[in-house]
Amino acid sequence: MSRRRHLLRYLTSRLALVPVMLWLIASLVFLLLRVAPGDPIDALLGLRAPPEARALLRQQLGLDQPLLVQYGRYLADLLHGQLGNSLTNNEPVTAVIGHSLPASLELGVVALLIAAVLGLAVGFSGIARPEGKTDLAGRLYGIGTYALPPFWAAMVVQLVFAVWLGWLPVGGRFPATVVPPAGSGFYLLDSLLAGNAQQFWGALRHLVLPASTLGLLLSGVFANALRLNLRRALDSDYVEAARSRGLSERRVVLRHALPNALLPVLTITGITVASLIGGALLIEVTYSWPGVAFRLQEAIGQRDYPVVQGIVVVVAALVVAVSVLVDLLVALLDPRVSF
């Protein structure tokens, strides 16, 4: 069988599993929410609403129905692409996700770019003199940024650059006094397309601290991955062969070792992207970034079942899609991968 057919079969088998995975995730989140103590009525009405008012609201929200009936409705709606309405304000869950997902994606993409540039630069910097000072500093950087607690790092960055120095905003996604750009929900892109410099700078200023913090925290993984894989590649036979043919060290590293060392980094990037789709919870909460993780955290606190279920299912679907895409990309780029 040709490699292309193998690849197609591999892709088909992966895609066939997607609905099963999504059903499992959807069912699990439905069940876990109902098993968790407290319910939306307690969260909405608080302490002392009379039992009659509680019963009435329970009935209005359809929570008085047997669990199986609720589950059946939920799955039926899901099959029709309907995620339901929020229990707190009746807003369609698709709209809630539509507002918050672009915020998370914008933050994630910029943070990933920062992480990749920073991480790869640090990972690459020590390669000329293994075990030298630069290499050691790079290793420490990798371990240090990976070990930093995100909430602590975010608060320190916030305190220094926003509170003490006053260079950048403390939190939020856009200046309070400026109208946000309309469009896709990606503020940088929308303001660029609209040609509105004030909106662009406003969005950029708010993005710098959360994206830099997240990028910094993720960059250690990239740095370490590149350093290790590049070292391994430089010690391999084909690199020795290239050197013995009289190629310059720069050419050996850039043309022969680096492409192979970057393949595992691509897998790491895929995993990181997948995790960032769901938002970086602690970063979003610390910087009041209205992304999907921030919204999910609020919805869990309010026991807003449809919002929690909707966000989890949509994010799971995106994570699965990205994961399949990355696997496919690696399989295409690396002839050694068998499937």
Partner 1 sequence: MTRRPLFRLALAALLPAVALLSGCQPPHPSGQLVVASKSSLASVDPVDVTTHAGLQLLSAIGDPLYSASADGQLKPHLATALPQISPDGLRARIPLRRDVLFHDGSRFDAAAMVFSLERFRSLAKLGYLLDDRISGVRASGPYELELQLKRPYSALPALLSSISLTPLSPKAYRQHQSKPLADRFVGTGPYRLVSSSPQKQTLLPFTRYWGPAPRNSGLHLVTLSNSTALFGALVSGEVDVLTSSGMDSDQQRALAQRAQQGRLVEGIGPAGEIGYLTLLSDRPPLNQPLLRQAVALSLNRELISQRVSYGIRAPLRSLVPPPLAGSEPPAWPAYNPTRARQLYKQAGYCQGKVFTLPLTFRSNVPADKLFALTWKAQLQRDLSDCVQLEITGVESTTAYRQLADGAFPMILFDWSADYPDPDIYLAPMLACSKAKGEQCLEGNAAAAGSFWSAPGLQAELEASERLSGPERLPLLRQLQQRTATAAAYIPVWQVAPRAWAQPQLRQPVFDGSGRLVLQALSIR
Contact positions vs partner 1 (CB under 8 A): 37-39, 42-53, 57, 86, 88-91, 99, 155, 158-159, 162-163, 165-179, 198, 201-202, 204-205, 208, 285-288, 290, 294, 298, 301-303
Q: In angstroms, give the least distance from the CB of 187 to partner 1.
A: 13
Q: In angstroms, give the least distance from the CB of 43 to partner 1.
A: 5
Q: Which is nearer to partner 1, 51 or 195 (CB)?
A: 51
Q: Which is nearer to partner 1, 175 or 264 (CB)?
A: 175
Q: In angstroms, give the least distance from the CB of 158 to partner 1.
A: 6
Say if residues 48 and 39 touch (Cβ distance below 8 Å).
no
Say if residues 190 and 84 touch (Cβ distance below 8 Å).
no
Q: Which is nearer to partner 1, 24 or 128 (CB)?
A: 128
Q: First-to-last CA distance in the chain? A: 12
The one-letter amino acid code at 318 reads L
Q: In angstroms, give the least distance from the CB of 19 to partner 1.
A: 32
- Tokens found for residue 1: 């069988």
- Tokens found for residue 251: 């050419």
Q: Which is nearer to partner 1, 8 or 36 (CB)?
A: 36
Q: In angstroms, give the least distance from the CB of 1 to partner 1.
A: 49
Q: In angstroms, give the least distance from the CB of 171 to partner 1.
A: 5
Stated as kind and residue range, the H or E segment containing 227 is helix 197-234
> SS3 letters for 162-195?
HHHCCCCCCCCCCCCCCCCCCCCCCHHHHHHHHC
How many C-beta atoms lie closer than 10 Å to residue 296's C-beta? Answer: 25
Distances (CA, A) of 1 to 4, 7, 128, 336: 8, 10, 43, 16
How many C-beta atoms lie closer than 10 Å to residue 18's C-beta? Answer: 15
The one-letter amino acid code at 196 reads N
Q: In angstroms, give the least distance from the CB of 50 to partner 1.
A: 6
Query: Angle 197-234/187-194 helices, nearest 10 degrees?
Result: 130
- 319 contact partners, CB below 8 Å, separation of at least 6: 274, 275, 277, 278
- Tokens found for residue 112: 């990933």
Q: In angstroms, give the least distance from the CB of 169 to partner 1.
A: 6
- Tokens found for residue 207: 């993005």
Residue 73's Cβ-count burial label (10 Å; 0-12, 13-18, 19+) is middle
Say if residues 334 and 263 touch (Cβ distance below 8 Å).
yes
Q: In angstroms, give the least distance from the CB of 144 to partner 1.
A: 20
